[in-house]
Structure 1
Amino acid sequence: MTVKLQNLEQALREVLVDKVQSLSFALGELTLVVKASDYLSVCQQLRDEPTLGFDTLIDLCGMDYQSYAEGAWDGQRYATVLHLLSVVHNWRLRVRVFAQDDEFPLLDSVSPIWPAANWFEREAFDLYGIVYDGHNDLRRILTDYGFVGHPFRKDFPVSGYVEMRYDAEQKRVVYQPVTIDPREITPRIIREETYGGNK
């Protein structure tokens, strides 16, 4: 770990104290994990504390850990991951927070802190079903309004639940159950030594 990241780690521990659930180094960045109950206050401190100064939200995404580590994961299923940038200190931070209820994943919205979170949170809601409390316009952003389910969840079927088509008689788009039979696609294995002209 570089001296710059060591300084960031020290600053995080001094400012957040007992709100740090874990702080680890991976892929050239520090990852801060916080509890859902501390999430909003930690984000406020990350932005407003002069020794941290994370003024820019680069990215926010949802995560589904259902089959993580080949099924060995035994923690909460849904998480939100933020990537933050401090322009004044020139450092980056990854923040991860897990929703406490897998049946109804709920986290605070950080769009009042970083307005750029608006569409990112809508995307995570649409694709993963994570609800952001305090978001002023939480609705689907990528799937259409009649879409059933959340397509990035690990248990969502590849073919979906419904399909839509234009009905000429009704002169409108209609939804119907999926007519594609589910099948397992096995890749072809090439064993011939002369395949493709190689001799």
Structure 2
Amino acid sequence: MSSKLESLCQALRKHLGERVESLQVAFGEVNLDVKVDTYLESMFILRDNPELRCEELIDLCGVDYSAYGNGTWTGKRFAVVSQLLSISNNWRVRVRCFAENDDFPSVPSVVEVWNSVNWFEREAFDLYGIVFPGHPDLRRILTDYGFVGHPFRKDFPVCGYVEMRYDSEQRRVVYQPVTIEEREITPRVVRENTYGDV
């Protein structure tokens, strides 16, 4: 581990203390797990502390660990992962926070820390069903308002639950249960008579 990453790890342990669940270095980046009840406070510290100075939140995404490790995962199911960048210190920190309840995953919003996270949190809500209390406008961003379920969850069917189509008689878009007609696909082999001749 480089001296720069080592000094970053020491600063994280010093300023975050008991909020840290896990701290490790992988692929040249620091990975930090924080507790959900201290998540918002930890993010403020990461941004405002002069030794840490993570001025930018580059990305935030949801993760569903239910099928992680070929089903051997025994931890909590949903997590929120944030990529933070310190321009002044030239380092990155990956922050992960697990939601306590798998049935209703909830992680505090960090919009008041970095307002650029607004649409990232909406995307995690839309695709994974992770709720962000404190978010000013938490609604779907990629799927339709009538969409049922959250398509990036591992238990969501590949074909979905409903399909939409335009009904020319009703002159509007209608939703109906997914219909998949089974069909047999037999490849057709075409060879020329002179195939393989030299």
**TM-score after normalising by structure 2:** 0.91
Structure 1 residue aligned with 2:170: 170
Alpha-carbon shift at residue 28 of structure 1 (Å): 1.3
Alpha-carbon shift at residue 25 of structure 1 (Å): 1.1
Alpha-carbon shift at residue 27 of structure 1 (Å): 1.6
1:83 aligned partner, one-letter code: Q
Does residue 68 of the first structure (1) align with residue 79 of the second (2)?
no
**Equivalences for residues 36-185 of structure 1 within 5 A:** 36-181=36-181
Q: Is the 8 A contact 1:65 1:77 kept in 2?
A: yes
- Please give the secondary structure, in 2, of the residue aligned with 1:62: strand
CA–CA distance in structure 1, aligned partners of residues 167 and 71 of structure 2: 43
1:155 aligned partner, one-letter code: D
4+ runs of 1 displaced by more than 2 Å?
Answer: none
Give deviations 1:70-129, integer Å, cap 9, x for gaps: 111100000000000011111100000000000000110001100111000000000000
CA–CA distance in structure 2, aligned partners of residues 42 and 30 of structure 1: 15
1:99 aligned partner, one-letter code: A
CA–CA distance in structure 2, aligned partners of residues 83 and 182 of structure 1: 43
CA–CA distance in structure 1, aligned partners of residues 182 and 109 of structure 2: 37
Structure 2 residue aligned with 1:10: 10
Number of residues of Structure 1 aligned to a counterpart in Structure 2: 188
Alpha-carbon shift at residue 18 of structure 1 (Å): 1.1
2:91 aligned partner, one-letter code: W
Give deviations 1:10-50, integer Å, cap 9, x for gaps: 00011011111000111210100011001000001000111
CA–CA distance in structure 2, aligned partners of residues 139 and 166 of structure 1: 25
CA–CA distance in structure 2, aligned partners of residues 99 and 19 of structure 1: 15
2:167 aligned partner, one-letter code: D
CA–CA distance in structure 2, aligned partners of residues 70 and 104 of structure 1: 23
**TM-score after normalising by structure 1:** 0.91
**Equivalences for residues 12-27 of structure 1 within 5 A:** 12-27=12-27
CA–CA distance in structure 1, aligned partners of residues 23 and 5 of structure 2: 12
Q: Percent identity?
A: 63
Alpha-carbon shift at residue 182 of structure 1 (Å): 7.6
CA–CA distance in structure 1, aligned partners of residues 43 and 182 of structure 2: 43
